[in-house]
């Protein structure tokens, strides 16, 4: 959902010869396939027609190879697909696909930190220095001035390490391991964006540090804590924290990037997700993400005080009024009220998910990282909003 600061896509504006799909131009093979629904219908025919239209646009006008959306509400669940999972074999997208979720990892990380707050092992307004002594030092960045809350809410003023990576270094060896401390240090060589607490700016560095904080407090890697506290607790069998594993387990679409407007697509399905770490390395499915968001908003993962803190938002400055809490974003629905969720993109994939407090969820995936263009992101958010407003007139409360 954060389209003005998209994880891991800015580097893809350079045409680097890695995994180019031979001779296939973006948009040349992307006729939408028939959408598929689960037996339990959660959308009526008009709502489903609108969703099909958006999915068709994602896989034709926007140039995505394939798209998938799953909708859940009190009536059941529906999965719709369009396009292809593999541009060479023309295999259709499966409704149970797994994929890299990029920055949708952040709500998982924030949830674990807030659980530690509820256990009185972390204080939200304590300085980062208390938990990571000596780590945040450099230029005018200082962990004694930055709080845990400011990390989770992107109000720390820390620069984003992704803005200072050499894209050719990343793409020429996508399977290389990247040490989290080294990535953090890239950011710390830069001046802070603003004084901590006096602005808002999306920075993936914040969540690398949050992952380090989890490990320091618990003695376990953040991925192990996510597995124990969330994945196993909710039975999210299609969700994983891969570490250095470059493969996606289970059925999944190939992941593509667009290195230039007229360049052939690049297949970057296999990458070492340590380049994203706790800011965006996880793998999941639309079904698991919907289940996670529902459990989170219903209070199954956090005590009321910590959930309230998570949902206390800071304006992001976007004209649409979106606001950011602690790893969770809010936005107004066209049918009234708010929905809560996050978005994420990483090499090969873009994901947007949202949920309402009354039990509606929707998550959409496209197997293309569009490299900073807005059309795909706009249509993905339109799909989530259309799904969440299914059966409701505009501006109803």
> Quick one: average pLDDT of 192-220?
97
* The pLDDT value given to residue 372: 60
Token code pair at residue 120: 């009185």
What separation, in Å, do the N-terminal and C-terminal C-alpha atoms of the chain show?
23
pLDDT higher for 30 or 189?
Answer: 189
Active site (annotated) includes residue 37: no
What is the torsion angle, in degrees rounded to the nearest 10, for the CA atoms of residue 107, residue 113, residue 119 and residue 122?
-150
- Give exposure, 206-216, as e/b (b: 16+ Cβ within 10 Å): bbbbbbbbbbe
pLDDT at 72 over 70: yes
Of 268, 257, 223, 267, which Cα lies nearest the Cα of 242? 223
* The pLDDT value given to residue 138: 83
- Dump pLDDT digits (tens) for 336-373: 999 999 999 999 999 999 999 999 999 999 999 876 66
pLDDT at 3 over 60: no
* The pLDDT value given to residue 46: 85
Fold of 10-388: Beta-lactamase (3.40.710)
pLDDT at 16 over 60: no
Domain ranges within the chain, ordered by starting residue? 10-388
Query: In angstroms, rounded to a whole number, what is the distance separating the alpha carbons of residues 331 and 1?
Result: 9
Q: What is the DSSP string of 238-289?
A: T-B--TT--SPPSS----EE-SSTTSPPEE--S--GGGTGGGT--EEEHHHH
Give the HSE-up count for residue 62: Cα atoms under 13 Å, Cβ half-sphere: 31
280 and 7 in contact (C-beta within 8 Å)?
yes
Confidence of residue 8 (pLDDT cuts 50, 70, 90): low
Token code pair at residue 64: 């995505």
Strand partners, 20: 266
Q: What is the DSSP string of 186-230?
A: HHHTSPPSSSTTS-----THHHHHHHHHHHHHHSS-HHHHHIIII
Query: Which residue is catalytic, options 42, 103, 279, 330?
Result: 103
pLDDT at 393 over 80: no
> Quick one: average pLDDT of 203-228?
98
Residues in Cβ contact with 268 at an 8 Å cutoff, skipping those fewer than 6 apart = 18, 19, 174, 255, 256, 257, 347, 348, 369
Query: In angstroms, rounded to a whole number, what is the distance separating the alpha carbons of residues 29 and 24?
Result: 8
* The pLDDT value given to residue 36: 42
- Dump pLDDT digits (tens) for 140-194: 888 899 999 999 999 999 999 999 998 778 888 999 999 999 999 999 999 999 9
Query: In angstroms, rounded to a whole number, what is the distance separating the alpha carbons of residues 153 and 202?
Result: 8
Instruction: Give percent of the chain above pLDDT 70.
Output: 87
| Mean of all residue pLDDT scores within the chain | 88
Alpha helices by DSSP H, listed for the chain, are 45-58, 105-118, 148-153, 167-171, 180-188, 205-218, 222-226, 232-234, 286-297, 304-310, 375-388
Q: Is 348 left (phi over 0), alpha (psi -120 to 50) or beta?
A: left
Of 78, 290, 268, 243, which Cα lies nearest the Cα of 167? 268
- Dump pLDDT digits (tens) for 244-280: 999 999 999 999 998 777 778 989 999 999 999 999 9
* The pLDDT value given to residue 373: 67
Give the chain's length.
397
Instruction: Report, in angstroms and rounded to the nearest whole number, the Rg of the chain calculated over CA atoms.
Output: 20
Strand partners, 350: 345, 366
* The pLDDT value given to residue 22: 36
* The pLDDT value given to residue 258: 83
- The whole-model pTM stands at 0.91
* The pLDDT value given to residue 259: 77
254 and 20 in contact (C-beta within 8 Å)?
no
pLDDT at 129 over 80: yes
Report residue 287 CA to chain centroid gap: 15
DSSP at 158: P
DSSP at 163: G
Of 307, 306, 289, which Cα lies nearest the Cα of 298? 307
Query: In angstroms, rounded to a whole number, what is the distance separating the alpha carbons of residues 363 and 286?
Result: 5
Query: In angstroms, rounded to a whole number, what is the distance separating the alpha carbons of residues 18 and 174?
Result: 9
* The pLDDT value given to residue 140: 86
Which burial class, exposed, middle or buried, applies to 138 when counting CB atoms under 10 A from its CB (0-12, 13-18, 19+)?
Answer: middle
């Amino acid at each position: 959902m954060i389209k003005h600061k998209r994880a891991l896509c800015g580097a893809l504006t350079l045409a680097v010869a890695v995994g180019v799909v031979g001779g296939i131009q973006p948009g040349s093979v992307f006729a939408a396939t028939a959408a598929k629904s689960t037996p339990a219908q959660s959308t009526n025919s008009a709502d489903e027609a609108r969703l099909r239209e958006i999915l068709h646009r994602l896989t034709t006008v926007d140039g995505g190879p394939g798209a998938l959306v799953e909708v859940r509400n009190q009536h059941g669940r529906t999965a719709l697909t369009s396009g292809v999972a593999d541009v060479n074999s023309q295999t259709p997208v499966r409704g149970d696909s797994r994929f890299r979720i990029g920055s949708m990892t952040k709500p998982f990380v924030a949830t674990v930190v807030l659980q530690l707050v509820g256990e009185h092992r972390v204080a939200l307004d304590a300085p980062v220095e208390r938990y990571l002594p000596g780590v945040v030092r450099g230029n005018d960045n200082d962990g004694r001035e930055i709080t845990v809350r400011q990390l989770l809410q992107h109000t720390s003023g820390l620069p984003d390490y992704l803005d200072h990576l050499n894209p050719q270094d990343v793409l020429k060896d996508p399977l290389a391991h990247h040490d989290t401390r080294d990535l953090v240090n890239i950011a710390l060589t830069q001046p802070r964006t603003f004084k901590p607490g006096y602005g808002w700016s999306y920075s993936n560095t914040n969540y690398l540090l949050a992952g380090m904080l989890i490990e320091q407090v618990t003695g376990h890697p953040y991925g192990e804590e996510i597995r124990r506290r969330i994945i196993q607790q909710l039975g999210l069998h299609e969700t994983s924290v891969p570490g250095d594993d470059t493969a996606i387990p289970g059925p999944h679409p190939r992941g593509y990037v667009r290195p230039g407007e007229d360049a052939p697509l690049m297949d970057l399905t296999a990458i070492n997700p340590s380049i994203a770490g706790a800011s965006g390395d996880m793998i999941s499915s639309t079904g698991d993400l919907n289940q996670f968001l529902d459990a989170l908003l219903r209070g199954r993962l956090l005590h009321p005080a910590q959930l309230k803190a998570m949902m206390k938002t800071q304006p992001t400055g976007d004209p649409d009024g979106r606001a950011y809490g602690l790893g969770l974003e809010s936005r107004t629905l066209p049918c009234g009220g708010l929905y809560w969720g996050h978005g994420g993109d990483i090499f090969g994939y873009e994901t947007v998910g949202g949920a309402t407090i009354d039990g509606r969820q929707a998550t959409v995936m496209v197997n293309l990282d569009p490299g900073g263009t807005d059309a795909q992101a706009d249509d993905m958010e339109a799909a989530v909003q259309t799904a969440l407003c299914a059966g409701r007139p505009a501006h109803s409360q």
